[in-house]
A and B are shown apart, each in its own frame.
Chain A
Amino acid sequence: MTRHFMEGSRVVAEAIFLCKPDVVSAYPITPQTHIVEELAQLIADGRIKSKFLEVESEFTAISSVAGAVAAGSRAFTATCSQGLALMHEVLFAIAGMRLPLVMVVANRALSAPLNIWNDQQDSISERDSGWIQLYVETAQEAVDTMIQAYKIAEDNRVLLPVMVCMDGFILTHTVEPVHVPDDVEVKKFLPKYKPTHALLDSTIPMTLGPFAYPEPYFKLRKELSLAIDNSKKIIKEVNEEFRQRFNRRYGNGLIEEYKNDKKIAIVSMGSVCGTIRCVIDSRTDTGLVKIRCYRPFPKEDLINALKDKEIVIVIEKNISLGLGSGSAFSEVRDVLYYLKKKPKVVGAVVGLGGTDVRSKDINALINKSKMMRDGEVEWFI
């Protein structure tokens, strides 16, 4: 295993080189553009044999990779923001047909006003689509999570699409030292995809995505819900198997705790956790619980990690308009409702449209949280 200095987007391309999808299709959109560029280069240089489909929109990109997976191949796409919003319709169809696709979302703000910088509104808005959503903190976690993502998605007990969400610019355009896993080791960890339930074979004809009357539709939606709940176990298993082979892991796969033996806990997702770790190192009263897997929502793990806290602060880069807080805030509060002794939960909406999240703001928030009412939401603006 070698250590390279690499831009986040380049790391994603390297991960694709390791996972070797048969079909790749993506439409460039800032800040995901470098990923598509690197992929096209990889394929043009003949380093991987994947078929690269040049398309005219994100809708076609996701539709064509959906077809590729339905035909029984491993596929990949990447997008963000407006591109992800354009894919919305197909996202639900892919999850409903249980196609194990992996997509990278380079998180970016949604219009209007037009903004190209990072927040997580785009992928959070797709939380109910049936996709597994994994949020990464570093470029290293991005490459490792992508390799894990294929293994999770293609597991016979899961068969669901996975979205690997990495903060646009903060991760995609930053150069970081990264251990790129060894090709042979990855091959052992992630064997070739053997399609079982979706396959283009004229000797065994099948129909995908058929029409369904109300009762079968309801039954299949319930099955989908159970499948994504059940995937928590497999995500944990894959994280552990990855540690055994590559000696790196990310918490228990669903959440990652850092110095979480204090009275205050910060709950957050994505690259901002790096800044939070720095703040925590300079204090004695606060710990971090990073949500790595936002869908399925790790209820039990969060209850265990937060049950003895006095204050829980949820810091997130999205806003559920009309709710007045971020989505994870209300979900974390819901989870803690089941405790007899409930901690005070406060929220913070931060970094929308790429606004800097500074350590001094987080420090001030922790100090202020002691005076805040339960359920109060702070805005970093």
Chain B
Amino acid sequence: METGGVIKKPGSSKEVKTGSWRTFKPIATDKCKGCGICVQFCPEGCIKILKGKVEIDYDYCKGCLICVNECPTKSMRSKREEK
């Protein structure tokens, strides 16, 4: 470890998969029009639009469900995580 806990290599936060903190999981359904509003609202930057459909990065999504709340077409649903 560096003196004083200094981190000299950038990007180390990527090693911590915060997705394991999740209690509820957002799931995109076929109703999604790919408007991208959820991309703007996601505080973790975990949502992308690929080929007009939503794709969620579950490695880092903490399950805040802001996307579910904001979706104008109600095409996001949530499911309780089972471990």
Q: What is A's interface to B at a CB cutoff of 8 Å?
A: 96-99, 159, 197-198, 204-210, 212, 216, 219-220, 223
Contacts and interface: CB of A to CB of B under 8 A. Distances in A.
B6 to A, nearest CB: 5
B1 interface: yes
9 nearest A-B pairs in the assembled complex, by CB-CB distance:
A98-B4, A207-B7, A97-B4, A197-B3, A206-B8, A220-B5, A205-B10, A98-B3, A197-B6
B6 A206 contact: yes
B82 interface: no
Nearest to A224: B4
B30 interface: no
A198 B8 contact: no
A26 B10 CA distance: 33
A219 B8 contact: no
A219 B1 CA distance: 9
B3 A209 contact: no
B5 A159 contact: no
A217 to B, nearest CB: 8
Contacts of B10: 205-207
Of residues B3, B5, B7, which shows the largest number of chain A Cβ atoms within 10 Å of its Cβ? B5
Nearest to A217: B5
B1 A207 contact: no
Interface in B7-24: 7-8, 10, 12
Contact of B1 (A96, A159, A206, A220): A220
A208 B4 contact: yes
Contact of B5 (A204, A205, A209): A209
A198 B4 contact: yes
Contacts of A159: 3-4
Contact of A216 (B3, B5, B6, B8): B5
24 contacts: A96-B4, A97-B5, A97-B6, A98-B4, A99-B4, A159-B3, A197-B2, A197-B4, A197-B6, A198-B6, A206-B8, A206-B10, A207-B6, A207-B10, A208-B6, A209-B5, A210-B5, A210-B7, A212-B5, A216-B1, A219-B1, A220-B1, A220-B4, A223-B1
Nearest to A209: B5
